[in-house]
Structure 1
């Protein structure tokens, strides 16, 4: 694979030692990397650049890294890994809820970081040698989910772009309709590595999208003390 074929990764990080370690790891495994020391310079690059993935520190010198995370998350063509010293559960939930595909806390093992980068790119079909997955769609309760694009279309025809984790949680429920799935079943899949609490957040977001009354859900039901269940027939095509 030539250098121009290698996936491009943008690193937004102001700590020189972290930059050095991450660059050595990424370049050692065949990735092209661009480094930006603050959010503003990364924003300027991203207006025209099309990286496969961004690694963003939340503690940037010129802005809250979560603001940059929200901006990048609106790009359906770019993966997003949060790399930060903020290890509290609330920070992790906010980062993932804000659109991050994964969350790594400093200090970190460089090889694990690369493995997480590869995992995100593999899910998006951007990893070296990865084949594009066929577009699969599911109909349920008047709704349609395009799994590959992460697009949810309502009975009125309006479309919503789901975050990566939302898309994967909904797919897991659709693959086993009318069956109870525990939180550990949803968090334990190879594609989805999230804290159990974050699953509850994703379910709440999905209900706000799908349900006429999210407080009295008719599509995604809670089985108290056990998990969640999607009710109704699902047609795949």
Structure 2
């Protein structure tokens, strides 16, 4: 294992699950850090920047959904929920709060490794695109996860919101169907994915100061998908 291998943090109050995941991930070439309490995990984040955070929702000292929301807003890492809560509403809530994926317990460790690898592959920068996109008076900095308006006022966006924004900016003036979004962004198709996309697009429109009744940049083509209407320059 090399020092530049991706770092995966594991936040779960069950020692057996932490050990199982750490062993599987390290055998697959990842570095790991494991925590049983949210306070320990959050203290470690001040000193390190993980590539992927695995977060259980049932924690002894803090609500897991609160941790997920804070990670989505404040960290550049991907957030994958691992939870015994299998209800659709729990999956939808987790994805709405900014999680990139949701894995239900019990799970096979190899599935977790495969999901992490798939997410990191999608996160690799395209040779044809950079980390900065300019469009319609806005600048999106994907290395810092912020939007800048014409007055240089910065508005942060989550990693999950950034995935959707980048998808639009890489395919301007082209219809993007729900199926195409699901294939590009990963995750299981269905109600939870559709709801999560609706929330992320709504939040992006708010951050781009769009009129929700008549958006100019991200247009909904009912029954077909979405289209981004701005001109985009990458650097």
Give the TM-score normalised by the residue count of structure 1. Answer: 0.84
Distance 2:143 2:53 in 1: 20
- TM superposition shift of 1:220: 1.2
1:132-165, Cα deviation, whole Å (9 max, x unpaired): 9963432222222234443322223212222222
Q: Please give the secondary structure, in 2, of the residue aligned with 1:208.
A: helix
Please, what is the CA RMSD of the aligned residues?
2.6
The aligned counterpart of 1:22 is 21
- TM superposition shift of 1:29: 1.0
Matched, 1:236 2:234: yes
Distance 1:94 1:28 in 2: 32
The higher relative CO (CA closer than 8 Å, separation ≥ 6) is in 2
The verdict on how the C-alpha distance between 1:132 and 1:18 changes in structure 2, with shifts beyond 3 A counting, is farther
The aligned counterpart of 2:155 is 160
Identify the match of residue 219 of structure 1 among 197, 217, 220. Answer: 217
How many residues align? The count is: 231
- TM superposition shift of 1:9: 2.2
Which ranges in structure 2 are unaligned for 5 or more consecutive residues?
none
The verdict on how the C-alpha distance between 1:15 and 1:76 changes in structure 2, with shifts beyond 3 A counting, is closer
Distance 1:82 1:59 in 2: 11
The aligned counterpart of 1:63 is 62
Distance 2:217 2:127 in 1: 30
The aligned counterpart of 1:202 is 200
Q: Please give the secondary structure, in 2, of the residue aligned with 1:180.
A: coil
The verdict on how the C-alpha distance between 1:232 and 1:46 changes in structure 2, with shifts beyond 3 A counting, is closer
- Is this contact kept in 2: 1:221–1:229, CA < 8 A? yes
Distance 1:55 1:16 in 2: 14
Give the TM-score normalised by the residue count of structure 2. Answer: 0.84
Which ranges in structure 1 are unaligned for 5 or more consecutive residues?
none
- Is this contact kept in 2: 1:27–1:33, CA < 8 A? yes
Distance 1:93 1:155 in 2: 34
Matches within 5 A, 1:71-110: 71-110=70-109
Distance 1:49 1:94 in 2: 27
Q: Please give the secondary structure, in 2, of the residue aligned with 1:188.
A: helix
The aligned counterpart of 1:8 is 7
Deviates more, 1:88-97 or 1:107-116: 88-97
- TM superposition shift of 1:113: 0.3
